[in-house]
Chain A
């Protein structure tokens, strides 16, 4: 039978099949951070066992870390305690640890690809749901819970029933001002936040083929927001070029062997999927969310849908709009905003900063807007400096912070105050996600930049046009 890309990678990692049960799946790479690992390491200690393959395990500090003054001791005692626990656990078990200030430090899903830990055909897990990011390389990557973190540390395996497969095909050409983030928000708005639950998604078609690796990472990152276990894209020359030469990527003869294998990683022409969905890329507009889940998104020039136009869940829908203090049928354009957050593993890579800079160049930050610009890693930060982007940002009145998850989940001090509106390039607009009572509008770096300079929800295409004339 013709296999899908997903089948090929999954089947080659099955150590054992349990009848009427899950598969025992071998995990090539395990990424660890401070928040979801301490209890897992405690579990190992209680069982008196070591980490089975420390060389397949990588640890970074990102979730609760401050984005300013990282050279100083972390003030919050609970965060400091988690960071210390991770450092000690990594040290005890011989795991590479990239703590605050380390040149390889950054958000776990940004540093994996950057350092060549993420490679095609691999299985990758991490105790963070946006592990799906790594699927951009043709890897099977998904988020796991802490019991599973302990499981992978102890046995390098995980027990999972094989998910169903879905292919999302988008052909056509994206219009100016439409970014990979918009493509993802568009898909989620069509499928809903549970539309892909139980599935592993493959993204196919012209739109994804034409996308940069950064863009593919943004799309795969957001797979989880439609309920999917993960998403992946078949590797191609762009993928191989990106991986080549990175520190942990295979070298020499090992590279040649890997390439021979990687080139086989695509869905066969006759392969069947449990579900196929397709959209037209030309139809997609810059997107923005208006509610409290990522499925509540719309084209930026549209109007907030009326409850009666939805299928079911009217009470939940109204509760969500009440939280946002928005009305049905209103336009989003022109709404005043208070905060802008550029960053996270969704949009904290160099391409995102380039896009942001493109809009703010020669303009000024709106005086009432507080903007947090947080690179995904020190490598991203270095590129921002080298490419002259920092200069553009500073001239426009912005400052750059130090890497970390920051306002994506607001575990550190970067919290949006209650009742305030933030245009955020992160991935979740849940109630309180960015701070108790915070109101989040998810959007692309272009939309975030347009909001940052105008102080309100603005179609970035207007600013891009004026840039051309």
Chain B
């Protein structure tokens, strides 16, 4: 599915300084029953965000109007657990375009890249700087510059570079997905298949 191009994103950020946030928390299994891709944002972090009766939990960060923005900043080992792409959809659908953490689980990272959410892995120290900056001022702006692979806290000018696979970067910059690429290789794939043992 095509998504909007990602180049430079300047935004305030929502902090979630919890480690090992797993995809069951990002979107609990009972919300995976859709046959379409819409509406997952409503249930993002459902059980942390709402009481069983549906009223918002005051202390959860998404219910705090002081914290807004298109960037979600999470603790170490973000997105572990279930492979559900719905977790990435929920993040995208809620309005985030970028997740920052000091470590991502593999499948989650891939899923994000496949649907146009940029996972930015920073050092533990820089992550701490970001959390502190947001705590001091929820209006602190982060700049995520994909072409230059750099993330900056604009007030202090503190910045760090981040890694992204070159191919995935081109896709994100152009809003392309892998299927477009593979469909162009169909003949090669079919020839290859005839040579396989199973």
Contact = CB atoms under 8 A, between A and B. Distances in A.
Interface stretch (A139-147, A331-339, A448-456): A139-147
A258 B197 contact: yes
Nearest to A78: B33
B105 A227 contact: yes
A18 B84 contact: no
Q: Which of B88, B165, B189 has the most CB of A within 10 A?
A: B189
Contacts of A53: 193
Interface residues of B, number: 56
Interface in B75-105: 75-77, 80-86, 88, 103, 105
A82 B29 CA distance: 14
Interface stretch (A42-50, A90-98, A178-186, A363-371): A42-50
B35 A145 contact: no
Contact of B28 (A13, A79, A122, A432): A432
A150 interface: yes
B172 to A, nearest CB: 13
B193 to A, nearest CB: 7
Contact of A145 (B76, B110, B185): B110
Contact of A82 (B22, B35, B82, B178): B35
A154 interface: yes
Interface in A1-45: 12-13, 15-16, 18-22, 24, 26, 28-29, 35-36, 38-39, 42-43
Contacts of A316: 18-20, 75
A83 B185 CA distance: 32
Given A146-B111, A151-B179, A411-B29, 20 more contacts: A22-B167, A24-B185, A26-B192, A35-B33, A46-B1, A127-B83, A129-B83, A129-B107, A145-B88, A145-B111, A148-B114, A151-B178, A154-B183, A155-B183, A227-B80, A313-B76, A411-B30, A428-B22, A428-B24, A436-B52
Nearest to B80: A193
Contacts of A227: 77, 80, 105-106
Contacts of B75: 316
B57 interface: no
Interface in B100-133: 103, 105-107, 110-111, 114-115
Nearest to B113: A147
B177 A432 contact: no
Contacts of A431: 24-25, 47
B158 interface: no
Interface string A174-214: 00000000000000000001100110000000000000000
29 contacts: A13-B196, A15-B185, A15-B188, A22-B168, A26-B189, A28-B196, A42-B35, A81-B33, A127-B85, A128-B82, A147-B114, A151-B182, A154-B179, A155-B183, A155-B186, A157-B185, A160-B110, A198-B106, A261-B197, A316-B19, A316-B20, A316-B75, A411-B32, A418-B52, A430-B22, A430-B25, A432-B24, A432-B25, A436-B52
A319 B83 contact: no
A39 B36 contact: yes
Closest 3 pairs (CB-CB, A-B): A21-B167, A145-B85, A78-B33
Contacts of A197: 77, 103, 105-106
Interface string A151-175: 1001111011101000000000000
A375 interface: no
B37 interface: yes
Given A24-B182, A155-B186, A258-B198, A147 B30 contact: no
Interface of B: 1, 18-20, 22, 24-25, 28-30, 32-37, 47, 52, 75-77, 80-86, 88, 103, 105-107, 110-111, 114-115, 165-168, 177-179, 181-183, 185-186, 188-189, 192-193, 196-198
A293 to B, nearest CB: 6
Given A35-B32, A146-B85, A431-B25, A293 B80 contact: yes
A47 B193 contact: no
Contact of A428 (B1, B76, B81, B115): B81
- Tier of interface size on chain A: 35 or more
A39 B76 contact: no
Contact of A16 (B30, B105, B165, B185): B185
Secondary structure at the A interface, as helix, strand, loop or mixed, is loop
Interface string A261-284: 100000000000000000000000
A24 B37 CA distance: 26
A191 to B, nearest CB: 12
B198 A410 contact: no
B84 to A, nearest CB: 7
B28 A436 contact: yes
Contacts of A146: 85-86, 111
A257 interface: yes
A376 interface: no
Contact of B33 (A79, A129, A250): A79
Contacts of A82: 33, 35
